[in-house]
Structure formats: structure tokens, C-alpha cells
A and B are shown apart, each in its own frame.
Chain A
Amino acid sequence: MEAVNRRETPAANLLASAVVNPYVIAGGFAVIAVPLLLRGNLNLFATVAVAALVAGWSSAWSP
């Protein structure tokens, strides 16, 4: 397994942890959703697409 992990760095470790960090998920959602809200008219496709991404991403945290 050494060959697999030879490039591991603290930064890579931090980045990998960030993938499932709820604050990162919330931030990612906000970055996509806020522009949608600012446009005023909620597009069904856009909101469902965002919800789909959040649904998949957030499932890292199964209750």
C-alpha cells in the first residue's frame, strides 16, 4: 500500500476530510442556491438538480 499513499500530505488529508465536512456541503449548496434565489423566479429543474446533488453528498452522514 505504500505505493498507493506515497503522495499523501497534510494538505491532501485536510482536503479529503473537507469533502464530507457539513460546513463545506452547506457552503457548496449556498454557492449554487443563492444565485438561483437572487434571480427571483425559482426554476424547478435548477432546484431539483441542486437538491439531487445535496441528497447524494449529504448521505455521507447517515443518521
Chain B
Amino acid sequence: MALTINPAVSGSRTRFLLHSGGFFLGVFVGALGSLLIVLVLKDLFAAIVPNKWIVLAVLALVGWAILHDVGMPAPLPYRPGQVPERLRSVLPTGAVATAFGLQLGVGFLTFFTYSTHLAMLLALPFLRSLPQMILVITLFACGKTLVLATSIGIRSIDEVTTRFRWTPARARVLRGTTATASLLVGLALLQLWPGR
């Protein structure tokens, strides 16, 4: 995303901050949409099956996603594509930033990245209150927007790519981190299991 929203494209620091804000807002609203869907689905299932089976299903799905992180690609309901690049040429940068944010915020409209997205989203309905859920969504949007900081101080778009250094060791570290974070969510969900 730093290739689309950066100081070189925005033209000034102020505009870059505005575009980053638009991206943050887009991610937040998109994730809110996903939260709404997950809440509705949870309520639908709760009307049919006991809560413990829903917890079990969520644990299974989180485990399934973790398999992806550890190198065993399992099919997941994510759209196998990136954000539509053509929007860059037809919309102003601010609108593109918000539109891309919306799509990435929903999460399922682009490639699956790591298990933490699914773990976070599926665990949200089990939180105690709506403010807690909103706070989690805000942190998700903050994390997505934080990435844009990698473009600070660049003169051209090409400079952004030099700041992303990808090695197999780094990939393992990142996958290990996301798998561990998801595993912790799974362990915390396990405490909701009746009788514990």
C-alpha cells in the first residue's frame, strides 16, 4: 500500500497525512462491515447450535488458517487478487486511498495474508462489549496504516521498494509471529469452552 500512498504520490506531507487518514478510515469502515457480518453469522448459528459448537468451529477455522502460516496452504474464503490498480489512474489519490482501505479493511476481498486476520475477526463476537470490538477494529486499522510510515522521506516511488527487504528467514519470522498470535487467540477462546 506504501506504493500507492506515500509522500511522492501525495505531493506534500500534509496531503500524505490526509491520504493516510483516508486510508485509515477506509480500513476501519471495511473492518466494521466484516465485524457486522461475523456478528450476524454468530447470532444465526447461535439460534441453531449450542455456543460450545460455535467455539469449536471457530477454533477449527483458526487452526486451519494457522496451517497456512506454517507452510501448508489450506483453502480459505479470500478473493485471490490484489486491490484494483486501475483505480489509481481514474480516481484522485485521496479517493484511491479510502477505496483501497475499504477493500483491505474487509479483508476477504484480497489475497489471504496471515492467520491473524481470521483469528481476530472470528474471535470478535466473543468479546464482552461493542466498545471492545470497536477498539480491536481500531487497532487493526492502526496496524494497516502504520505500514505507510515506511514511505516517509522518499523522493520517488522506487525508493519505497528498497525499504522492503524480503528473505526466507524474515518470512519465517513473520509467519511464526502471526501463527503464535493466532494460537494465543485460540488458547484464549478455549477458555470459553464449558466446564473450564
Chain A contacts to B: CB under 8 angstroms: 1, 3-5, 7-8, 12-13, 16-17, 19-23, 25-26, 29, 33, 36-37, 41-63
Chain A neighbourhood of B147, CB < 8 A? 19-20, 56-57, 59-60
**Within residues 109 to 146 of chain B, which ones have a CB less than 8 A from any CB in chain A?**
110-114, 116-117, 119-120, 123-124, 126-128, 132, 135-137, 139-146
Give Cα distance in the complex from A20 to B114, angstroms.
Answer: 15
A17 touches B150 (CB 8 A): yes
Q: A22-B170, A23-B170, A63-B113 are in contact. Are A54 and B177 (CB under 8 A)?
A: yes
Chain B neighbourhood of A7, CB < 8 A? 153
- Mark contacts of B89-119 with chain A using CB atoms, 8 A cut-off: 1 yes-contact digit, 0 otherwise: 0000000000000001000001111101101
Chain A neighbourhood of B139, CB < 8 A? 49, 52-53, 56
B143 touches A52 (CB 8 A): yes
Nearest first, the 9 A-B pairs at minimum CB distance are: A56-B143, A55-B116, A22-B174, A57-B143, A8-B153, A56-B144, A52-B140, A60-B147, A42-B188
Q: Does B46 contact A (CB under 8 A)?
A: no
Q: What residue of chain A has the Cβ atom nearest to residue B128's Cβ?
A: A45
Chain A neighbourhood of B166, CB < 8 A? 61
A14 → chain B closest CB, angstroms: 9
B174 touches A58 (CB 8 A): yes
B177 touches A16 (CB 8 A): no
Chain A neighbourhood of B181, CB < 8 A? 29, 33, 47, 50-51, 54-55
B163 touches A53 (CB 8 A): no
A58 touches B178 (CB 8 A): yes
- Mark contacts of B170-191 with chain A using CB atoms, 8 A cut-off: 1 yes-contact digit, 0 otherwise: 1101101110111011011101
Q: What residue of chain A has the Cβ atom nearest to residue B163's Cβ?
A: A17
B173 touches A51 (CB 8 A): no
Q: Does B8 contact A (CB under 8 A)?
A: yes
A54 touches which one: B27, B112, B143 (CB < 8 A)? B143
Give Cα distance in the complex from A3 to B155, angstroms.
Answer: 10
Give Cα distance in the complex from A29 to B176, angstroms.
Answer: 11
